Amino acid sequence: MSFTTTVKNEICTMEYSNTENIALLSAFVRSNGKFDDNKIELSTENAKVAKKLYLLFKSLYGTEVDLDQRTVANFIKKKNYIITINNKVDEILSDLSVLDSNNNYIESPKEYVVDALEDKKAYLRGSFLSKGSINDPKTSQYHLEFGFDNKHEAVFVQRLLNEFDMNSKIIIRDTKYMVYIKEAEKISDFLKIINAFQAVLYYENIRIYKEQKNNTNRLNNCEQANMDKIIETCNNQLKDIEVIENEMGLDLLDEKIQEACLYRRKYPETSLTELSNIISLETGVTITKSGLNHRFRKIKEIANRVRNKK
């Protein structure tokens, strides 16, 4: 079962007020419905969504509703559920703010459909049940989208989402208008808005796990990069010491410089911080990382002078 199906199934188990149910149906019919004076026809691949629509139309409008199951033979056989309403069509379409009194299509639902905050959330639930899909957070990308045939509906849903600070955007894909969200936190907020609370828990657990894993990987990469840098620095210092020893000997160097050479050879892979602590501990004379770094700069300068003379 896909994550999208899981979310839609959860939504369908919840009970809402009549005004919320009207907003939900309005969104579904406007984005999914085929209708004329005599019939409203809706379709969905989700059995629980079909049952939810069936029960809502019967309870709200006391109308007869036909629910049929068809098999769509494409590359993969899929079940498709068709909800058909053959009476009270004008009343329903008017009440859901789909058609006006002259049977003209209303480009955006009237204000009473989404007047209250909870009704706006319900409208987004209906849009998601009809045209929404969401990637499982286990996949590589976070992605939520709605695919609308009608530009006006896409714009309306985008604006509604952005009232909740969803930062949604629209692109045209083939002949459809895609409203999408890619930010993980925003998608999680959307699931809360549509009351898919079990889905939120699942989504957040996966998201937190992925973030922790990514943080761990970043820390490991940083540690490895630091180790590589330390080893490269140590190798360069050892090469400098070898050049000086081969060409002029270490005895001619200042005692402190000799000491740095001795301890670098004794501890060839330690960082400057570790080496300064070791020298301080073994000699009883405190030397800081900065002081030790100064000695190695001197060693490098001497080695470069020797190389240039050669």
Q: Are strands 40-44 and 34-35 parallel, antiparallel or unpaired?
A: antiparallel
Q: Which pLDDT does position 73 carry in this prediction?
A: 61
pLDDT, position 76: 64
Half-sphere exposure in the Cβ direction for 56 (13 Å, CA) = 27
Domain residue extents for the chain: 3-195, 212-309
Q: How far apart are CA 34 and CA 96, in angstroms?
A: 14
Query: What does the pLDDT look like over 16-53, one tens digit per residue?
Result: 999 999 999 999 999 998 887 788 999 999 999 999 99
What is the topology classification, in CATH, of domain 3-195? Endonuclease I-creI (3.10.28)
* Side chain identity, residue 238: L
| DSSP 8-state code for residue 106 | P
- Among 132-141, 145-154, 212-221, 245-254, the least confident range: 212-221
Residue 201 has pLDDT above 80, yes or no: yes
The conformation of residue 52, written as its DSSP 8-state character, comes to H
Average pLDDT of the residues in 222-232: 83
